[in-house]
Amino acid sequence: MSQLRCFAISITPFDADENLDEEALRAHFRYLAAGGVGVFVAGGASGEAFTLSEEENRRVLTAAAEELKGKVPVRAMGVEPRSAKQMIKFAELAQESGVEAVQLYSLDQGHGLRPSDAEMEKYYRDVLRNISIPAVLSSHHLSGYVLPQNLLLTLLDEFPHIVGLNVSTPDINYVTRLMTALNGRTEVYIGGIQAVLAHLSLGGAGYMSSQANLAPRLSQSVCDHWAAGDLKATSEAFATVLRLLAADAGFGNVRGVKEALNQLGLHGGYLRSPRLGVDEATRAAVTKMLVDLNIREIEGIAA
């Protein structure tokens, strides 16, 4: 297995007129690389990718490849597709842009409808047969379902360009059964910070985090301390990560992350409609969080 890694689900900075701020985006990528985290870009939640045009997606992906490739792992995340054609188009864009891999999100049929197992299998086969870029499968409970274990194992057998799985679910039993069945066949990253240490205990390759946008060194240090066998340092770093998550959840996640980055003199930028920025009370709470958790010092950010 390669180095244990935290992946930041990168934000996308916009300017005051809600245009893509490519200069700020590139500066943010350099900040993440200096912190040692891998980076997923053009994601639907932290990355606000549901608001991005095809050309904006291209610019984000190209900037990520140029700033990050060869320094830290850089992968395209994308948004939940409604069809195989939509997913293939994004994967082709990712390959043209030069990122290293693309995540294949679960099929979203709308109105909370769950695809049948046969429909899931057809969707993944249609996508994987038509792309050559390395692929990471996503099994995310917020899609309304997680992928059947047998389907994941079958796809891994058939398509060698699957290089990993992203698994996001509060069901640790699903994770445990899946990790046992995989037995190290591919890298698995978990979403949901609360389960990180359990996942590492099962042989996981690392985790994904929105808060790593703000604290990449801290976030990666959990994996580094674990790999070094320093459980005390792992526990201390992870406790701070959990406190950061708890605080940020109250701020609206990407809203709080962008506000915190801006307060530190970094490149959070603005949100894009329909999202709105934080109010004064939240702004003050973000300031307090940064002081209480010692984020500036942990991340080595000059005052």
Percent of the chain having pLDDT more than 70? 100
Answer yes or no: is 281 within a domain: no
Instruction: Write a three-state SS string for the chain.
Output: CCCCEEEEECCCCECCCCCECHHHHHHHHHHHHHHCCEEEEEECCCCCHHHCCHHHHHHHHHHHHHHHCCCCCEEEEECCCCCHHHHHHHHHHHHHHCCCEEEECCCCCCCCCCCCHHHHHHHHHHHHCCCCCCEEEEEEHHHCCCCCHHHHHHHHHHCCCEEEEEEECCCHHHHHHHHHHHCCCCEEEEECHHHHHHHHHCCCCEEEECHHHCCHHHHHHHHHHHHCCCHHHHHHHHHHHHHHHHHHHHHCCHHHHHHHHHHCCCCCCECCCCCCCCCHHHHHHHHHHHHHCCHHHHHCCCC
In the prediction, which pLDDT does 253 show? Answer: 79
> For the segment 255-285, what is each residue's pLDDT rounded down to a tens digit?
999 999 999 999 999 999 999 999 999 999 9
Look at residue 2 and tell me whether its pLDDT is greater than 80: no
Q: Count the domains in the chain.
A: 1
In the prediction, which pLDDT does 1 show? Answer: 54
Answer yes or no: is 267 within a domain: no
Answer yes or no: is 241 within a domain: no
Answer yes or no: is 37 within a domain: yes
Q: Return the CATH number at 188.
A: 3.20.20.70
Percent of the chain having pLDDT more than 90? 94
Evaluate if pTM is beyond 0.75. Answer: yes
Answer yes or no: is 274 within a domain: no
Answer yes or no: is 171 within a domain: yes
Task: Output the average pLDDT for the chain.
Answer: 96
Domain range for residue 186? 5-217
> For the segment 215-236, what is each residue's pLDDT rounded down to a tens digit?
999 999 999 999 999 999 999 9
Look at residue 169 and tell me whether its pLDDT is greater than 90: yes
> For the segment 17-68, what is each residue's pLDDT rounded down to a tens digit?
999 999 999 999 999 999 999 999 999 889 999 999 999 999 999 999 999 9
Answer yes or no: is 286 within a domain: no
Answer yes or no: is 176 within a domain: yes
